[in-house]
Structure 1
Amino acid sequence: MKVMVQPVVRLLLSVPLCVLVACGSGQEPSPKQTLPLLPKDEVLLAADSSKRAMIVEQVLGFELAPVMESVAGKIAYDETVTARISAPVTGRIVSPLPALGSKVNGGDPLVELDSPELGKAKQGYANALADARLAQGAYERAKSLFEHGVLPHKELQEAENALTHARDDVSQGLMHLHNLGVEDEKIDNRYWVRSPIAGVITERHVNPGLEVRPDLAEPLFVVSDLSRLWVYMNVFEKDIGLIHVGTEVSVTVVAYPNEHFPAVVEYIDKLVDEQTRSIRVRCRILNAQGQLLPAMFASVDVRSGPENKAVVIPLTALFTEGEGDQVFVKLGDGHYKQREVKVRLRMKDRAVIAEGLEAGETIVTEGALLLRTEEANEQSEIDAP
C-alpha cells in the first residue's frame, strides 16, 4: 500500500513559516506621549480639558483699601429736611386727603379741619380789637377833657391804662392766631393744616372725618425731602479710632447689590453702648435718583484716604496651605502658578493683600481648589516609579 507522506510533510513545514510571517507583519505599539515636567507649584491644563470652563480669572488693580470689616447699617430720614406734621387745634377733617407719595411745596395745604376751638380764638381776637377801639376813643376823650381842665389827672391815667391792656389783649390774640398759622381774620371754624417744607408725603395717619387733637401719639403726616438721607451704623469700640467726621464710606443695599452709594460721616455719638460696646455713627447720603428708602438695611464700607490704595481680591481666590494663604497666578494659557500672599485685612467676601500680588497680574478667583487638586495629581504621577 502506497503512503502519501510528501504532502503531509509540506503542510507541517509551512505552519512555522506562516507563523513567522504573521508575527513579522504586526506593527510595534507607539511609545506613550509625555507632558513637559513642571515645577511642584505649577499646574497646566490641557487645551481640551473640561476643567477650563470651571476657572474664573480676574485682572488685578489698585483700589481704595477698606480699613475695617463692613458694618451693618440702616437708612433713615434726614431730620433736617423732615417734618412730622400735627394739628395745633382740635377739629374734624372735612376735606379730601392727599395721596401718599404726593410732592408738596412749603406752605401747601394738606387737610382742612372744622375747629370750634379756632372759631373761638378768632372771635376772641375780634373782641379784643373792638375793645381796643373803644379804649382808644375813651383815652382820646379823657385826654381832651384833661387838657381843658375838666377831667382830673387820675381819670386820664385810668383811661391810658385801659388802652394799654386792650392793646395787649389784641397782641396776644394776634400772636395766638399766628402760632396756629392763621393769616386771615375771617370769623369761621375752618383751619388748613399746611406743610412747612417741600418734599414727599411719606406717611399719613388720618382718615376722612377723623377728629384730631394736638396730643395725638402719631403725626397726621410726615413730609420729607428724600433726595437727602441719613445712614446709621454701629461701630465697635476697637474700630472707632479708624473713622472721623468727614470720612468717606460706601453704602450698598440688597435691592441694588451691584451699586455703591457714596456717603460721608457727619456725626459720631459721644456715648458707648454698654451692651454692645459700639458707638452709633451717622452718615449723610445723597439720593437724587430716589433708589434708597428710609428703613432699608444697608452694608457700609469705611474707605481709607486716597493715598491708601491696595490690591483687593475676592475671598474665593484664597486657600490655605500649611500656615500661609495661597493664590493661583496665571502664567499663560491654562498655565498657573501657586503663590503665597500676606493678607492685611480679611473681610466677609474680600481680602486686602499686603504682599505677594501686584496690579496687572491675573489670578484665579474661582476654581483654585480644583487647580490645587490637579496640581497634586500631576505631582503624584511624576513621583510614581
Structure 2
Amino acid sequence: MILNTKNSYRFQISKICNQKIEYRNLLLTLITATALTACGNKEETKEKDYYSLQNDTIIIPATSTIAPKLKLETVKNVSYQLELITAGTVKAIPNFYAEIAPPFSGRVTKVHLKLGMKTQPGTPLFEMVSPDFIDAQKNFFQTKSAFQIAKLSLKRQQDLKNNGVGSQKDLEEAETNFEVNEKEYQNAIASLKIFGVNVDKLIFGQPLVITSPIPGEIITNEVVMGQYIKAEDAPKAKVADLKKVWVAGQVKEKDIRFIHELDGAEIQVASYPDKIIVGRIYHVDEMVDESTRSVQVLIECLNDDHVLKPGMYVNVKFIDTPENTLFVPAKAVLQFNDKSFVLVQIGKGKYIRRYVETGISNKGKIAILSGLKPNETIISEGAFYLLEAK
C-alpha cells in the first residue's frame, strides 16, 4: 500500500515537471514571435523611410538604400529608320499587261505568236475567219455607201437651192438624211477600230487579224491552228512587259502611318537569298481588308533580269525616312491603369511622374512620341521600387 502511494506521488511530480517545461517552451515561442514582429514593424518603417512624398514630388534621401539601386539616363534624340517586314506578291502592272481574246467567234487560220516572242503595238498574233466579222465588214461597207450617197444628194440639193431650182424642204430632208448616215458610218468605223482594224485598208472578206495592244513579250499561248474560239472564251494568249513590276505588300493598319509614297522598300526572293531588289512605294490603298486588318501597298520595282515573276511570293522590308526619335529603356516605362509614365528628375534626389505616349519597341528600348523632351533625365533602371509612390 505504501509502495503504491509513493509511485503515485512520483508520477504527479513528473507530470508537474513536464508541464513546467511545456510552459517554458511556450513562453520562449511567444517571446521570439514578439521580437520578430517588432523587427518586421521596424523593417516596414524602414522601408517607408526609403523615400517621402511632397505633393507630386518623390524625394529620395542620399542615405536611402534605394538610391544606389537607381540608374539615371539623359534622353536624347537619335536618328532612327523604321523597318517593317511583311510578305508580298509580285504582280504585272496593268498598263504593261494584256490578255488577248478575240472580239468575235471564229476559227483560227494562221498563228504568228509563240512563247517569248517580242511584240509592239499592232504586231500580228493570229488570224481567224469569223462570220460575225464578215457581218461587221458588210455593215461597214453598206453604211459607207449610204453615207457617200447621202453626201452627194445633199450637195445636189444645195446646188439646186443656190440656183433657185430646189426647194427648202428638199434641202432640209437631204441634210437630215446626211446627218443620220454620217452618224451610222462613224459608228461602223469606231466598232472596227476598237479591234485594231485599219478601215482605210479593209477588204471585204479578209480574215480577222488579232494584234498585240502593247509592247512586251508573249508569256502565255494557247492558240492552236484550226481551233474554234468563241467570243466568250477565256483569253488564249497573254502579253506582258515585265521589265517593271509591282510587289503588293500587306501592312497592318496600326503600322500604316509609317508608310509613305516614294519611300524605299527592299524585296528579297527565296530563290535568290543574296539578291536584294530595291523598289519605291507607288500607291497605298485607301481601303482596309476587313479579314486581315491590313492595307495593300504597291511597290514599283525594276525587273530587267526577270527575277520577279507574277504570282511569286517575296519578303518585303519597308524602310522609312530616318527621323529624330526619343528612345528610353523599356525598364524606365511603368504602367498605371492604361497609361504609361516615366520618372523624371527635377533635382538631386527629386523625381516626378510624367505620363508619356509610347511608340514602337526596338532592341530593348521604347520610342517616346510625346510627354518627354530631349536632355531631360529619367530613372532608367530601378523605377519599379517607386511604383507605389503616388
Q: After superposition, where does 1:228-267 map in structure 2 within 5 Å?
A: 228-267=244-283
Residues 143/294 of structure 1: CA separation in 2 closer, same or farther (3 Å cut): closer
Alpha-carbon distance in 2 for matches of 1:290, 1:251: 14
Instruction: Give TM-score scaled by structure 2 length.
Output: 0.58
SS of match in other structure, 2:175 = helix
Find the counterpart in structure 2 of residue 361 from structure 1.
none
SS of match in other structure, 2:111 = coil
Alpha-carbon distance in 2 for matches of 1:269, 1:134: 55
> How much has 1:299 moved relative to structure 2?
0.7
Q: After superposition, where does 1:92-131 map in structure 2 within 5 Å?
A: 92-131=107-146
> How much has 1:229 moved relative to structure 2?
0.6
Alpha-carbon distance in 1 for matches of 2:319, 2:166: 84
Deviation readout 1:321-346 (Å, 9 max, x if unpaired): xxxxxxxxxxxxxxxxxxxxxxx967
> How much has 1:65 moved relative to structure 2?
7.3
Find the counterpart in structure 2 of residue 176 from structure 1.
191
Alpha-carbon distance in 1 for matches of 2:88, 2:312: 9
Q: Is the 8 A contact 1:68 1:239 kept in 2?
A: no
Deviation readout 1:296-339 (Å, 9 max, x if unpaired): 11111122436789xxxxxxxxxxxxxxxxxxxxxxxxxxxxxx
1:284 corresponds to 2:300? yes
Find the counterpart in structure 2 of residue 74 from structure 1.
89
Find the counterpart in structure 1 of residue 242 from structure 2.
226
Q: How many residues in Structure 1 have an aligned counterpart in Structure 2?
A: 252
Residues 307/91 of structure 1: CA separation in 2 closer, same or farther (3 Å cut): same
1:71 alignment partner AA = T
Alpha-carbon distance in 1 for matches of 2:117, 2:287: 38
Alpha-carbon distance in 1 for matches of 2:258, 2:163: 85
Residues 122/260 of structure 1: CA separation in 2 closer, same or farther (3 Å cut): same
Find the counterpart in structure 2 of residue 337 from structure 1.
none
Residues 65/106 of structure 1: CA separation in 2 closer, same or farther (3 Å cut): farther
Q: CA RMSD, aligned part only?
A: 2.8
2:123 alignment partner AA = D
Gaps of 5+ in 2: 1-78, 326-359, 366-390
Residues 65/202 of structure 1: CA separation in 2 closer, same or farther (3 Å cut): farther
Find the counterpart in structure 2 of residue 208 from structure 1.
225
Alpha-carbon distance in 2 for matches of 1:285, 1:155: 66
Find the counterpart in structure 1 of residue 64 from structure 2.
none
Find the counterpart in structure 1 of residue 208 from structure 2.
191
Deviation readout 1:270-289 (Å, 9 max, x if unpaired): 12222222111111111112
Gaps of 5+ in 1: 1-63, 310-343, 347-351, 355-385
Alpha-carbon distance in 2 for matches of 1:73, 1:174: 44
> How much has 1:248 moved relative to structure 2?
0.8
Alpha-carbon distance in 2 for matches of 1:237, 1:129: 59
> How much has 1:209 moved relative to structure 2?
2.3
> How much has 1:105 moved relative to structure 2?
1.4
